Structure 1
Amino acid sequence: MASEIQILDTAVGFAIPERHARGRIVRLGPALDAVLGAHGYPPVVEKLLAEAIVLAALLGSTLKHDEGQLTLQAQAEGGAIELMVADYRNGEVRGYIRHDPLRLAEIPADPSLFALFGRGYLAITFDQAVTGERYQGIVPLEGGSLAEAAETYFSQSEQLPSLVRLASRRLPDGRHVAGGLLVQHLPEGEEGRDRIHTRLDHPEWEHVHALAQTVTADELADPDLPIETILWRLFNEDEVRTYPGVSLARGCRCDPAHIRTVIARFPPDERAGMADEQGEIHVDCEFCAKRFSLALDSI
């Protein structure tokens, strides 16, 4: 097993060859603080977004090319959460949530997924920039947690037996830490037969699943617990191979130059309609909670 893997802001891939299993483990710290610090979300919303960003990192860090992007979007009606977006590209993560404060105040302190969203869907989109391929899977927002919804996605869209665990916590000093574990079964190997033939009751998968599900939320979100230690605790009966970690950071792709370029594509009359009485066009980025203002006559 590789050594000296950083504890925070990293995504690490691993394999258990003899059990035909692979996985990833993610731990976020300062990068998560940077995302959440731009918003004044209530604790329950912070926790949900933290887990969504971890899930985006778990999935996005599997992309083969740095230019690729993974986008996770949950949209619903009738719940406290109206829209949730998190994405990953080349080690950068970001996300935001749009919620109804009045409905949020009415739900219990430890709400289920349905209490948060009502009826809705989870869409996971992989954009392969190099090949131009785009794949999207959509599943209902069902289950008790975002992790359960993700497992449904893998079961229905990927036909891969999978285990997903997500956890987050706010430390006494105000820092946020979140972590996640993804384990999957590949009974015929990476290049084997169609995934639809995989079996949830395969003896190898039953063994790996039984071990993986013993991981605790405290372990995943412990800022002092090395990732290697978690993997050893879970799978010390087998050989575990780890791969070089991917460093994670908060990243938002909004900037004045890009916004100016986008607005310049609109016809002059539409640009004029965007401007306020002072002749300025204001663009808000929901990811980083910043407002960009451009003078109409400068475009």
Structure 2
Amino acid sequence: MASQPETFGDQPLRFSIPVRDARGRLVRLDAVLNEILAAHAYPPLIEKTLAEALVLTAMLGASLKDQGSQLTMQVHTEKGAIRLLVCDYKDGALRGYAQFDADTVAALPSDSTLFGIFGTGYLAITFDRVRPASEGGGRYQGIVPLEGSCLSEAAQNYFVQSEQIPTFIRTAVDHVDGRCVAGGILVQHLPEGEEGRERLHVRLDHPEWEHVGMLAFTVLPEELADPALPLEEIVWRLFHEEDEVRVEQAGILTKGCRCDPVHIRDVIAKFPAEDRAEMADESGDIVVDCEFCSRRFPVSLTSFNN
């Protein structure tokens, strides 16, 4: 029996180019992505959009190094084919789902743009860092309009507008041997304030950033979504002429729905008995739906009498 080809997925890679004041992350989602998608029978266009969002979330989440910190990305619209898209990352655990109007999606072409899928709306990215606020911790949320041809461009605009950090992002989604594979790269110019100097604002003509950005732009979508291509190889192809490039493997990604029957019951138990009675169905169960994993958790009213 022929052996299965080795794949390189579900483990983000961080890299930096010190002399160019640049940093970046690469992510390729494979088995984890298909676990998340398997919980829902998404139409191809929704599947592709959610896959791209999960790649973006994994790349942004890979920047969090403190245990317990969380990154959440949310897209909300009122009249789009996708009404709500939510993804989050916490300690290497990734999850996401999309709420959509099936009739509207069925009428869209497969190559629909961001506006075609969402209409007008906004992108919100929230960082919840567990370290003290005096050390850069706490909650920070940036919200920007949905602009660009795809979610990657919208996220790139987020960094330019909200974070004021020159950023390049590219993602790709493909199907390989019957499964969905998605990859992405994020490259940023380091704010000079991190080195104790005046903070660099949006200066896309900065000579070091212009050089790095031009190299990053040459990455091919098929490289990002090729499960047989190591992420380190992509870094080498892009930046092998640099004097020094540092790489660091981040932790393995997992499917991370955090719904738990015991926790759900404990939360419901905090409500007064009369409120619990109103929540229950005709069978005497309070049914809690998890949008992320598409599971239902029935909690019997009788369990609170024990």
- AA paired with 1:216? L
Asked if 1:175 is matched to 2:194, the reply is no
Stretches of structure 1 that go unaligned for 5 or more consecutive residues are: 1-5
Contact 1:77–1:120 (CA under 8 A) maintained in structure 2: yes
Asked if 1:206 is matched to 2:210, the reply is yes
- AA paired with 1:145? C
1:293 CA displacement: 0.7
1:192 CA displacement: 3.6
Say which SS state the counterpart of residue 178 (structure 2) adopts: coil
For residue 223 of structure 1, what is the aligned residue in structure 2?
227
How do 1:97-136 residues align onto structure 2 when only pairs under 5 Å count?
Answer: 97-131=98-132, 133-136=138-141
- AA paired with 1:253? R
For residue 81 of structure 2, what is the aligned residue in structure 1?
80
Specify whether residues 130 and 260 from structure 1 end up closer, same or farther in structure 2 by C-alpha distance, changes over 3 A only.
farther
For residue 194 of structure 2, what is the aligned residue in structure 1?
190
How do 1:85-96 residues align onto structure 2 when only pairs under 5 Å count?
Answer: 85-96=86-97
Contact 1:20–1:189 (CA under 8 A) maintained in structure 2: no
TM-score (normalised: structure 1): 0.95
1:200 CA displacement: 0.6
1:22 CA displacement: 0.4
* CA distance in structure 2 between the partners assigned to 1:231 and 1:265 by the alignment: 51
1:167 CA displacement: 1.1
Specify whether residues 175 and 42 from structure 1 end up closer, same or farther in structure 2 by C-alpha distance, changes over 3 A only.
same
1:106 CA displacement: 1.6
* CA distance in structure 2 between the partners assigned to 1:251 and 1:137 by the alignment: 24
Specify whether residues 275 and 187 from structure 1 end up closer, same or farther in structure 2 by C-alpha distance, changes over 3 A only.
closer
Say which SS state the counterpart of residue 120 (structure 2) adopts: strand
* CA distance in structure 2 between the partners assigned to 1:266 and 1:139 by the alignment: 36
Deviations 1:88-144 (A, max 9, x none): 000000000000011111222111100000110000000012336100000001110
Deviations 1:14-42 (A, max 9, x none): 00111110000011111111100110001
* CA distance in structure 2 between the partners assigned to 1:195 and 1:262 by the alignment: 44
1:190 CA displacement: 2.8
- AA paired with 2:54? I
1:297 CA displacement: 1.2
1:223 CA displacement: 0.5
1:176 CA displacement: 1.6
For residue 3 of structure 1, what is the aligned residue in structure 2?
none
Deviations 1:254-297 (A, max 9, x none): 01001001111111111101111110111110000001111111
* CA distance in structure 2 between the partners assigned to 1:264 and 1:279 by the alignment: 15
- AA paired with 1:167? A
Asked if 1:139 is matched to 2:144, the reply is yes
1:196 CA displacement: 4.7
Say which SS state the counterpart of residue 252 (structure 1) adopts: coil
For residue 294 of structure 1, what is the aligned residue in structure 2?
299
Say which SS state the counterpart of residue 192 (structure 2) adopts: coil
Identity of aligned residues (%): 59
TM-score (normalised: structure 2): 0.93
Aligned pair count reads 293
Contact 1:158–1:195 (CA under 8 A) maintained in structure 2: no
For residue 236 of structure 1, what is the aligned residue in structure 2?
240
For residue 4 of structure 2, what is the aligned residue in structure 1?
none
* CA distance in structure 2 between the partners assigned to 1:228 and 1:189 by the alignment: 29
Asked if 1:259 is matched to 2:264, the reply is yes
1:197 CA displacement: 3.1
Deviations 1:168-222 (A, max 9, x none): 1122x32121111000012626334354535110111111001101111110010
Contact 1:20–1:185 (CA under 8 A) maintained in structure 2: yes
Say which SS state the counterpart of residue 229 (structure 2) adopts: coil
* CA distance in structure 1 between the partners assigned to 2:191 and 2:162 by the alignment: 17
1:251 CA displacement: 0.8
Stretches of structure 2 that go unaligned for 5 or more consecutive residues are: 1-6
Contact 2:36–2:255 (CA under 8 A) maintained in structure 1: yes
